Structure 1
Amino acid sequence: MLRLVGLRKSYPGFALSVSLEVPAGQTLALLGPSGSGKSTLLRLVAGLEAPDAGEIWLDQTELTPLTPEARRVGFVFQDYALFPHLTVFENIAFGLREARWSEARVQERVAELLDMTHLTPHARKRPDQLSGGERQRVALARALAPRPRVLLLDEPLGALDLKLRQELLLELRAILRQTVVPTIVVTHDQSEAFVIAHQVTLLRDGTLVQQGAPEQLFNRPKNPWVATFLGHRNLLSAEQSRQMGLPARPHLLPQEAIALGQGEEAQVLERIFKGFTVALELAWRGQKLYLEGQELGLYPGDIVRIGIDWSKVVAMEEEDNEGEPWQPVDAVTPNARP
């Protein structure tokens, strides 16, 4: 198990302070906005930077005083950092030969990783002959080659276009599920974090805000900032909650709590086609309500009934900056039906 105990690092205008654990064979995703400290945390674990305070432990070994080489950490950088003059095989074998592995062991280990990452047909190619996804897999294979005790990935899919990211996401998940070491993945994309990781840690301004399994984190956000960051739209401030008969604290009204076809009247303000889903913005109880799902044939100006299952409303903690609660609807002037 990898344990970060009271780990702290400060720069002018920024301070990281984190404690967390990653069990062997588990993947932890660090999720958060730019500047929240995600990459700094990786560099501290790898030994590329020294903490101001705190300890880094792997099982019963403290890594904090060890050099990067002695920590045996595999690191996949965002730009992959492949050697352009070496073939795929040679890139993967580089660290093994530096560690004085026998040539027979090098050949066996590289062949194993080429097969795992589906790179065997590309073994003799150089990086400039590969696609972005193939380069990403070479970087991952190279990091795994010396059998690291910890694996770190910094935005592993960040340099790829959307289509390629979607294609490689499940492939990366499958590869990481085969590793037996603690793994930390940094990403700014919540969908990537949810697919790849067993646990997701949300950072904000260098502080751990919330951690949990993907579904737990998404369905039970701690406060309005977490809910907004994860893409939830229907947030009630403490005052709005009180006006609706709820306790005077922030609440999230999740999609599954909302049923169309019964209850109070609401008016469609906006319809947004999103491909597989259609989003609707509704005027309801003087607020704007957001729904997303299958096509229902509703357009601006239509009237629909809304029923709320109040038992499914999620209570959240207060915070200094709650983010944007629902906005009141002063005047409804919907667009005409096309």
Structure 2
Amino acid sequence: MLRIVGLGKSYPGFKLSVSLEVGPGQTLALLGPSGSGKSTLLRLVAGLEIPEAGQVWLDEAELTLLAPEARRVGLVFQDYALFPHMSVWENIAFGLREARWEAYRMRERVAFLLELTHLGPHAHKRPDQLSGGERQRVALARALANNPRLLLLDEPLGALDLKLRQELLLELRAILRQIGVPTIVVTHDQSEAFAIAQQVALLKEGIVVQLGSPEQLFRQPKNPWVASFLGHRNLLSAEQSRQMGLPARPHLLPQEAITLGVGEEAVVRERVFKGFVVALELVWRGLGLYLEGPEQGLYPGDTTQIRVDWSRVVALEEEPTGRRDTINPLA
């Protein structure tokens, strides 16, 4: 188990302070906007930066003061950092040669990783002869070569186009499940974090705002900022909630709480075709609502009906500061 206890680092205008745990074989995603401290936290755990406070523990061993090479941590960066003059086989074997593995053990380990990452047919190619997805697999295989006790991935799919990212998401998830090593994945992509990780830590301005499973975060966001960051659009301020007969605190109207076609009158403000779904912006009771779903044949200016199941509305906490990042963006 990885334990991060009060780990701190400061820069002008920024302060990181984080405590987290990653269980054996578990994948934790660090999710948050740019500048929230995700990569800084990863570099502190890897030993690439020195913390000002706190400790990093792996099982019963403290890593805080150890050099990066003494931590047995596997690292994969966004640019992969492969050796361009080496073949795939040589890139994977590089760390094993440095660690003076016996030749037969090294061959067995590389063969296993080539099979794990589906790189066998490419073993003798150089990185410039590979696709982006293949280079990503080489970087992962190299990080796993020396049997790391911990795996750290910094935007591992960030350099790939959308189609390739989608293809590799489930493959990367399967590999992480198979190797059973505690893993931290840094990403700014919510769908990537939800697909890969069992737990997600949402960071904002150097602190963990909310931690939980993907389902917990999405269905029970802590406050309006979390809900908005995760893509929820139908947010009510405390005053709007009061006007709707709810307690005077922020609330989320999740999509599943809203039924289209029955109930009170609503007017279509905007329609956006998004391929598999159509997005509608509607005005209802003077509020703006956002809905995505199958084509309904509704266009701006049309009238429809809306019914809200108030039992499915989610109560949110007030923001910890006076600043409100989002309040019902369609109002």
Quote the Cα distance in structure 2 between the aligned partners of 1:127 and 1:288.
Answer: 51
Work out whether residues 271 and 300 of structure 1, in 8 Å CA contact, stay in contact via their aligned partners in 2: yes
Cα distance, 1:157–1:327 mapped onto 2, change above 3 Å:
closer
Residue 316 (structure 1) aligns with: 316
Are 1:41 and 2:58 counterparts? Answer: no
Work out whether residues 223 and 322 of structure 1, in 8 Å CA contact, stay in contact via their aligned partners in 2: no
Quote the Cα distance in structure 1 between the aligned partners of 2:132 and 2:254.
Answer: 37
For each residue in 1:213-232, what CA deviation from the matched residue of structure 2 results, as whole angstroms up to 9, or x when unmatched? 00110011000000110110
Residue 25 (structure 2) aligns with: 25
What do you get for the CA RMSD once the two structures are aligned? 0.9
Quote the Cα distance in structure 1 between the aligned partners of 2:174 and 2:46.
Answer: 24
Residue 212 (structure 1) aligns with: 212
For each residue in 1:137-190, what CA deviation from the matched residue of structure 2 results, as whole angstroms up to 9, or x when unmatched? 000000001000000000000001111111111111111111221100000000
Residue 57 (structure 1) aligns with: 57
Amino acid at match of 2:217: L
Residue 171 (structure 1) aligns with: 171
Amino acid at match of 2:299: Y
Work out whether residues 200 and 214 of structure 2, in 8 Å CA contact, stay in contact via their aligned partners in 1: yes
Residue 162 (structure 2) aligns with: 162
Amino acid at match of 1:322: R
Quote the Cα distance in structure 1 between the aligned partners of 2:328 and 2:318.
Answer: 16
Give the 3-state SS of the residue equivalent to 2:226 in structure 1.
helix
Amino acid at match of 1:175: I
Give the 3-state SS of the residue equivalent to 1:178 in structure 2.
helix
Deviation at 1:263, TM superposition (A): 1.2
Q: Any stretches of 5+ residues in structure 2 without a counterpart?
A: none
Residue 101 (structure 1) aligns with: 101
Amino acid at match of 1:115: E
The within-5 A match list for 1:1-338 is 1-319=1-319, 320-327=322-329
Deviation at 1:13, TM superposition (A): 1.1
Deviation at 1:324, TM superposition (A): 2.1
Deviation at 1:327, TM superposition (A): 5.0
Amino acid at match of 1:4: I
For each residue in 1:266-310, what CA deviation from the matched residue of structure 2 results, as whole angstroms up to 9, or x when unmatched? 011111000000000001011111000111111111111100000
Quote the Cα distance in structure 2 between the aligned partners of 1:198 and 1:35.
Answer: 24
Amino acid at match of 1:225: W
Give the 3-state SS of the residue equivalent to 1:242 in structure 2.
helix
Give the 3-state SS of the residue equivalent to 2:179 in structure 1.
coil
Q: Runs of 4+ in structure 1 displaced over 6 angstroms?
A: none
Work out whether residues 225 and 321 of structure 1, in 8 Å CA contact, stay in contact via their aligned partners in 2: no
Give the 3-state SS of the residue equivalent to 1:104 in structure 2.
helix
Q: Any stretches of 5+ residues in structure 1 without a counterpart?
A: 330-338
